[in-house]
Structure 1
């Protein structure tokens, strides 16, 4: 199975019950935990927005609340989407682990393992950035805020949580639990999407290998070789179809993330310049900003990798087209020849991973988003002055 690390994290976060858990003794408690975790995250999101509506009094307080409330909101959206799109995600996994996508020889297994290592490495890097922010935020809260009965996040509660330690402890545990679980959900979800993008790149590498092997075995004019060519044409068509399926499943949530990120980036930078740069609060904000940059960057980086996998810049498209050109077309039937012509033409068109059919996930989009956030940050500073 592909993307094992991502699904293990989702399982630990009670969002992905393994399919082999057939017994009710496992299913019922796990489903109850799933419901409780979802409720905890949704309640925290609601309480934070109620705080903004009911208790915020000035622009400084507003910017201090917005970036955290939007982050929690985006995690809640991802949680609900994982539960809602479980069957679609399982279908994508099945496609990538079935014929013709499944590796068939040692060289193809090596190609697949190489891409699996890349996504695992990216998951660890991104996870380290996120969890360092989580650890710093919780440590700052525990050392400097608990003694004054201050919660990690500003939120509205129906009664005064400062009145008793019991109510404060309940609210504190709820926020910390939601924050920690939400961070792991965020890590798993973001790298799951990027992992599917990398699987597209892996399939182009495997297809290129199969086409080159076909050219090297040109002397064989058997029906078996014709079937291999037909399978390659089908494989190529399915790669493009699978990339469309990935966009259909995840584009809406990616669009929400980009919108949230553009707002959170500028408000976080605004908060940093308001703090003492040597304080614990500034350190936690800097780490948060760093993890946010990494989050947006990995989307755009892996989307750019998919774009390059079928562009002349990486020469995969050229190599596939060149391998097709070198095949002895005289041994092929007319329908097979038409399939190869379609394959060559399609190789010249890059795959664009988009969100909301507007934003393409590539490095240019990352640069544009950072520039927009910096412009909004300057506007906030001027209004403050």
Structure 2
């Protein structure tokens, strides 16, 4: 029985974080065909800006998404660096402390098992971080794209005028 509440909460947090990353990766891979078809559809001319005004209209959205992307990667990289090097910076590497509490079916205090377990934990957390950041930034990009499409549609509707309004409306909104 574990009497250390900090250790138990740390293990629960780590396990739930890893599980969430694995689930995100699983559902991304499972729905890859739908995602590819969506990307092909979104790349068609009817979903692209029609003129320079519309390009300038959606540029702030794209810049904001890029900022979110870079900030998320920088923060994740910082967290990964400190997780991977914590035992080294803490000087507990001498006691063969691993970055994360874990049970292994072998003695991790003995070399080379300690090094193998250490590398295993670091590679595992890097994989989960990359997949999590990738999926989350993909979702942010899709949300940005939806907003850009709404901006383009609003601009198209603002430009409609004249006698053939109904015909123009059908042309602009035809999918």
Instruction: Please report the TM-score for the alignment, with normalisation by the length of structure 2.
Output: 0.88
Distance 1:128 1:72 in 2: 19
The alignment status of 1:147 with 2:83, answered yes or no, reads no
Paired residue secondary structure (1:154): coil
1:73 to 1:56, Cα distance in 2 relative to 1, 3 A: farther
Displacement, 1:104?
1.9
Alpha-carbon shift at residue 234 of structure 1 (Å):
3.4
Shift of the alpha carbon at 1:88?
1.5
Corresponding residue for residue 173 of structure 2: 233
Mapped pair 1:75 → 2:15: no
Aligned match for 2:112, one of 151, 166, 191: 166
Deviation at 1:100, TM superposition (A): 2.3
Match in the other structure for 2:32: 86
Q: How does 1:195-274 map to 2 (within 5 A)?
A: 195-215=141-161, 218=162, 221=164, 226-234=166-174
Residue of structure 1 equivalent to 2:139 = 193
2:130 matches 1:184: yes
Counterparts of 1:92 and 1:126, CA distance in 2: 24
CA distance in structure 2 between the aligned counterparts of 1:231 and 1:97, rounded to whole angstroms: 19
Q: Does 1:96 align with 2:36?
A: no
In the TM superposition, residue 57 of structure 1 has moved relative to its aligned partner by 4.0
Aligned equivalent of 1:131: 77
Measure the CA separation in 2 of the matches of 1:146 and 1:82. Answer: 36
- Do the aligned partners of residues 232 and 139 (structure 1) sit closer, same or farther apart at CA in structure 2, a change above 3 Å counting? same
Q: Structure 1 CA distance, aligned partners of 2:171 and 2:47?
A: 11
Q: Map 1:305-320 to 2 at 5 A.
A: none
2:67 aligns with 121
Q: Secondary structure at the match of 2:106?
A: coil
Given the superposition, is the C-alpha separation of residues 148 and 107 from structure 1 closer, same or farther in structure 2, using an over 3 Å criterion?
A: same
Taking the aligned partners of 2:26 and 2:133, their CA distance within structure 1 comes to 15
Q: What SS class does the counterpart of residue 105 from structure 2 fall into?
A: coil
Distance 1:126 1:214, change over 3 A: same
CA contact under 8 A between 1:103 and 1:206: conserved in structure 2?
yes
* C-alpha separation in 2, matches of 1:95 and 1:118: 23
Does the 8 Å contact 1:75/1:182 carry over to 2? yes
Q: How many residues align?
A: 174
Closer/same/farther in 2, CA of residues 118 and 100 from structure 1, 3 Å limit: same
Change (3 A) 1:174 1:227: farther
1:85-109 CA deviation, whole Å, 9 max, x = no partner? Answer: 1112112222322242122222222
CA distance in 1, matches of 2:3, 2:168: 69
Displacement of 1:191 after TM fit? 1.3
Q: What is the root-mean-square deviation in Å for CA atoms of aligned residues?
A: 2.0
Task: Give the structure-1-normalised TM-score.
Answer: 0.42
